[in-house]
Amino acid sequence: MERSEGKTSLLCLFLFTYCLQCRCDIPVVQNWPSSVTLPENIPIGTVMFNFTVKSDIFDEDISINTQDSTTFGVVNINQNRGNNVFAQVISKTELDRDGYGIPGKTTSILKFVVIDLRGNTLNLLTTLKLIDVNDNTPQLENTPYQWSISEYSKNGNETFRRIKATDLDEGINGNDGIVFKMEPIVEPESLVLEYLSTFSIDSSTGVIRQKRALDYEEHSVYHFNISATDQKGNGRTSESTILTITVIDVQDTPPVFTSGSYKALVRNDAEIGTHVITVHALDGDTGYRPMNAIGYYISPGGCSEVFTINDQGGINTRLHIDQNTDAFESACELDVVAQEVLYDANQQYGPIKTKATVYVMLRSKESQDEFDRCSSDSPKVVGTLLVTLLIGIQRFI
């Protein structure tokens, strides 16, 4: 019995001694925050939070480290060593919550590990919440901008809604504070005013509206600078981009003669079929494709029965010229009409005819021979014709 009691005493002494040598006490963490909320613009070196780690073992040496790349990229740890550790978690970089920097999001989990000399570990987690500050510049989306609009569009009925901007900040610091601006790229000042009287922008939504009727022949293209400003926040303005407004031509302009008016000389003994002069006109809607073909005719009246005109605008004598007849005196006026042909009535929004006056004057054989001799070296004379600009063009609807 005494021997058994002796063995029990020895076992207890062994276990007590072993426990003293093992020192298995786990360090205790105090003041550890479950979450930390800070502005994203805190300076580098800011103390984000403090905590302590204690151990009852006198000769303990406790270390605290970051546990993953996110935490390593955000903080440094300042600590003393021993069994009673005071630690500071300090920001090591400029923080960002909007995706451009570190950590790149509003909420992040910071991970730490506490290690003592015997390999005991404590894993610590805290949630870092970043408060938004107005540190972003608005960014225009899907640039540059192109808008094609028919010149037949009615005033105020056409809008352009593709202008968008994004500010990654929140609320009044973000998209709610964006103001759009449109500036004409044109000189002089009179054209600036014309541009602004033609198009306007809603500064809040970026929607551009047509303010007045368009005319391709007056202006076929407009250029504006578009920008977005964070007016309610820090006042930063985006890089500008170009909006090009292209006016689409429609069939609303009559043909245009390539010369303003015509004067021709014809001998007083010209035979039937003698070429007198050629007139030429083009579709006035130069931006419309395909351009309409042009046909010609001579309006009845005066000496119109003496001449004929072909599809190419060539005017020839229809009768034998005789200045002694009633049909033709020393001068004759012809009203020549150019008309668009084979046009689509559903796509025609204006006049299709234009009139020009051709003056034809008689010359005797002798004066004609002298005229031919003097003008033989001039590139302006074709055959026996002299073409000069005299009369303005008339349009009729």
Separation between Cα atoms, residue 340 and residue 76, nearest integer Å: 82
Highest CATH level, class, for 139-248:
mainly beta
pLDDT tens figures, 204-230: 999 999 999 898 888 999 999 999 998
Equal fold, 26-131 vs 139-248: yes
How deeply is 348 buried, as exposed, middle or buried, from its count of CB atoms within 10 A (0-12, 13-18, 19+)?
Answer: middle
In the chain, where the domains are located: 26-131, 139-248, 256-396
Do residues 334 and 307 touch, judged by C-beta distance below 8 A?
Answer: yes
Separation between Cα atoms, residue 298 and residue 308, nearest integer Å: 7
pLDDT given for residue 236 in this prediction = 82
Side-chain half-sphere of 177: how many Cα atoms within 13 Å?
A: 23
Distances in Å between the alpha carbon of 369 and those of 136, 265, 373, 378, 383?
A: 85, 12, 6, 15, 12
Separation between Cα atoms, residue 338 and residue 262, nearest integer Å: 14
pLDDT given for residue 86 in this prediction = 97
Distances in Å between the alpha carbon of 110 and those of 102, 120, 277?
A: 12, 20, 92
Domain 26-131 grouped into CATH 3.40.50.2300: no
Question: What CATH number does the domain located at 256-396 have?
Answer: 2.60.40.60
Q: Which residues of the chain have pLDDT under 70?
A: 1-24, 154-156, 233, 323-329, 343-346, 364-397
The C-alpha torsion from 111 through 113 and 114 to 115, rounded to 10°, is: -170
pLDDT given for residue 270 in this prediction = 87
Name 114's Cβ contacts closer than 8 Å, sequence gap at least 6. Answer: 27, 29, 53, 62, 63, 64, 121, 122, 124
